[in-house]
Amino acid sequence: MFKLDFFKSKFIYLICLLFFSNLNHAQKTLRIGYVNMDYILENLDDYKTATEEYEIRLNMWKKEISEREVEIENKLKELEIQRPLLTETLYNDFKEEIDFEKEQLELYRQKRFGPNGDWVAQEKILIQPIQDEVLAAVQLIAERNKFDYVYDKSSAIVTLYSEKKYDISELVLKSILRQEKLENLEIDFTDDLIQKRRDSLSKVNELRKESLQRKRDSILKARKIK
C-alpha cells in the first residue's frame, strides 16, 4: 500500500515537474498580447454610426410590432363588447380575421427578429465590416510585433493580471484611424484633382469662345469696311 501511494505521489510529482517545465519553456518562447475590442470599437466613429443606425432600425421594427399588437388587442376587446349583438356566425368570422392578423404579425416578427431574421442581415451589413477591419488590423500588428497569440480582454476570458506593455489596443486603434485619414486624404486629393480638371476645361472653353468671338468680330468688321 505504501509503495502504491509512493508511486502515485512520484507520478504526480513527475507530471507537475513536466507541466512547469513546459510552462517555463512556453514563457520563454511564446509572445502573448491582448486587445480590448470594446475600447477599440467605442473609439471608432464608423462603428458608432453603424451601431446607431442598427439600433434605429431595430427600434423601428419593435415599434411597428408593438403598435400592431395594440391594434389587434383593441379589435379583440371591441369584438367581445359587441358579441351580445352579433350572431355566432358573424362573431366567428370577425374572430377568424383577428386570428389571421395575429398569425401575420407573428410571421412579421419572425422575419425581423427570428434566428435568421433581418436583424442578423443588418448586423452583417452595418457592423461586421468594421469588426472585420479591426480583426485585420489586430492580425497585422500581431505579425509585425511577432506575437504568437492575441486574446480579447473584453471577452469572457478571465484575466487576473495583464502587463500593460502587451496591450496592443492603442496600436490597433491608431492603425485604423491612420488608414482612415489616408483614405480621406486620397478622396480629398482625388476631388481636388477633379475640380482642377473641371476648372481647366472650363477655362479652355472660355478661351475658345473668346477666340471664336474675336474671329467673328474680325469678319464682321471686314465686311463693313467693304
Does residue 15 form part of some domain?
Answer: no
Q: With CA atoms as reference, report the closest residue to 98 among 76, 67, 65, 131.
A: 76
Q: What is the pLDDT of residues 186-205, one digit of tens each?
A: 444 445 555 656 665 566 56
pLDDT level of residue 68 (50, 70, 90 thresholds)? very high
Determine the average pLDDT of the residues in 87-92: 91
pLDDT level of residue 156 (50, 70, 90 thresholds)? low
- pLDDT on residue 61: 94
Does residue 68 form part of some domain?
Answer: yes
User: Over 50: is that where the pLDDT of 127 sits?
Assistant: yes
Residues β-bridged to residue 149 = 32
- pLDDT on residue 173: 82
Does residue 77 form part of some domain?
Answer: yes
Higher-confidence residue of 104 and 42: namely 104
Q: What is the pLDDT of residues 214-226, one digit of tens each?
A: 666 665 565 555 5
Q: With CA atoms as reference, report the closest residue to 167 among 76, 28, 2, 37.
A: 37
Higher-confidence residue of 147 and 90: namely 90
Long-range Cβ contact pairs of 185-192 (< 8 A, separation 24 or more): none
Does residue 132 form part of some domain?
Answer: yes
For helices 118-126 and 45-82, give the axis angle rounded to 10 degrees: 160
Domain with 62 in it: 36-193
User: Over 90: is that where the pLDDT of 77 sits?
Assistant: yes
Does residue 16 form part of some domain?
Answer: no
* 3-class DSSP assignment, residue 149: strand
pTM recorded for the entire structure:
0.56
Does residue 22 form part of some domain?
Answer: no
Higher-confidence residue of 5 and 23: namely 23
Higher-confidence residue of 53 and 36: namely 53
Does residue 7 form part of some domain?
Answer: no
Long-range Cβ contact pairs of 111-115 (< 8 A, separation 24 or more): 112/61, 112/65, 113/61
Determine the average pLDDT of the residues in 119-123: 88
Does residue 82 form part of some domain?
Answer: yes
- pLDDT on residue 12: 39
As for how many domains the chain has, the answer is 1
- pLDDT on residue 183: 55
User: Over 70: is that where the pLDDT of 208 sits?
Assistant: no
